[in-house]
Amino acid sequence: MKIAFVTEMGFSGKIASDHTNMRTEFAWMHALDATHTNIYEYASIKDCDHVFVIFPKGQLNLNAVGAKIANSPNPHSELLNSNWLEVLKKNNKQIHYIQEGPAWMFTELEVHDQFNFYNMLTDVDTIYAHNEYDTRFYKGLVPGQKVQTIPTLMIEKLLSSIETKTENKVIIGGNFARWYGGFQSYVVADEFKAPIWAQESHAKRGGEGYVPNLQHLPRLSWIDWMKELSTFKYAVHLMPTIAAGTFSLNCAYFGIPCIGNKHVDTQRLCHPDLCVDVEDVDSARKLAQRLSNDYDFYTDCVIKAKRNYKKHYDIQVWKDLINLK
């Protein structure tokens, strides 16, 4: 079976199992044994059984080889107004769209581009969504279209060498931007009375460096991030933006109890006793207090996280769910 994976990234080829920056889309590519091609080179993709497309959501790769569209003043609009999907459908058997970011992300485009994006959703063979919550959105938006989840995935080859040494500290899942809900997470994390950490990212807000009892990990490759994460005892991620849920899944692999958004599948399935409405900060605080003070509850959450990770997110479970034909 010949499979292509199409994104805004500027490289071509496959992803090896020992890739050190095995973030979610790379894990999907590896699991599918797919060949990646930049989206602006869509005309070169031919004779594939399946083509998976992640449409650009933010800063586009303006250095893609031969990417005439990418160098236009408005590449999102240029791409949506081009015949890229028609060409892919003509040259290949099935074309699938994979959600990138929150399901509503396309509504930040200009209105005519929102309709062009919608037309794309109606014309692909399958819409793959991050969460059950998102599948309901797409099924209502595009009635009759085939919609299914594509779970977040980790390739574990490099993880087996990590020696976990848990320390009494807590990590929050994002910076102090509205997208990540870092402020609320910090307030809840403070209940643990332990050092609080966040990861440095493009979303870091001015002044975060002056927040009491908050330190930042530098920007890291995926494998180095996982090594650092393995040392934490607790996690809080009150992110209001419903997306792929990689943070909750990463925590589950190491058995780190994570308090988080009940609508994110990785949180709901791996940390069932620690799910909240992200606006319900009071309940999140109480869960943090219970994790701190109730050893049996903490231990049970650790065991459930590890067990549920294997039950729901093992690579073979993932392949059986996708089940391409």
Longest C-alpha distance within the chain, in Å? Answer: 61
Task: Please give the helix or strand (H or E) that residue 275 lies within, else none.
Answer: strand 275-276
Rounded to the nearest angstrom, the gap between the alpha carbon of residue 33 and the centroid of all alpha carbons in its chain is 19
Answer whether residue 237 shows pLDDT above 90: yes
For residues 221-246, average pLDDT: 96
Helix (H, G, I), strand (E, B) or coil at 264: coil
Per-position DSSP letters for 110-167, written without gaps between them: -HHHHHHHHHHHHHSSEEEESSHHHHHHHHHHSTT--EEE-------TTGGG-----E
Q: Tell me the H-state helices in the chain.
A: 24-32, 75-81, 84-91, 111-123, 132-141, 182-189, 222-229, 246-254, 265-270, 281-293, 295-313, 315-322
Q: What is the 3-state secondary structure (H, E, C) of 16-48?
A: CCCCCCCCHHHHHHHHHCCEEEEHHHHHHCCCC
Q: Backbone dihedral region of 47: left (phi > 0), alpha (psi from -120 to 50 degrees) or beta?
A: left
For 183-212, what is each residue's pLDDT tens digit?
Answer: 999 999 999 999 999 988 777 778 888 999
pLDDT given at position 302:
98
Answer whether residue 255 shows pLDDT above 80: yes
Rounded to the nearest 5°, which phi and psi values hold at 264? Answer: -90, 125
**d(C-alpha 216, C-alpha 193), whole Å:** 17
Per-residue confidence band for 75, with pLDDT thresholds at 50, 70 and 90: low
Q: Which two tokens stand for residue 284?
A: 């999140």
Q: What percentage of the chain reaches a pLDDT higher than 70? A: 94
| Segment among 46-60, 140-154, 272-286 with least mean pLDDT | 46-60
Domain edges within the chain: 3-150, 159-313
Answer whether residue 161 shows pLDDT above 60: yes
For 174-183, what is each residue's pLDDT tens digit?
Answer: 999 888 999 9
For residues 56-72, average pLDDT: 45
- CA-angle at 200, arms to 249 and 97, nearest 5°: 50
**d(C-alpha 72, C-alpha 171), whole Å:** 40
pLDDT given at position 46:
98
Q: Which two tokens stand for residue 203?
A: 């979303």
| Segment among 73-87, 118-132, 226-240, 243-257 with least mean pLDDT | 73-87
Per-residue confidence band for 61, with pLDDT thresholds at 50, 70 and 90: very low
Q: What letter does residue 272 receive in the DSSP assignment? A: G
Answer whether residue 58 shows pLDDT above 60: no
Say which CATH architecture domain 159-313 belongs to.
3-Layer(aba) Sandwich (3.40)
pLDDT given at position 67:
43
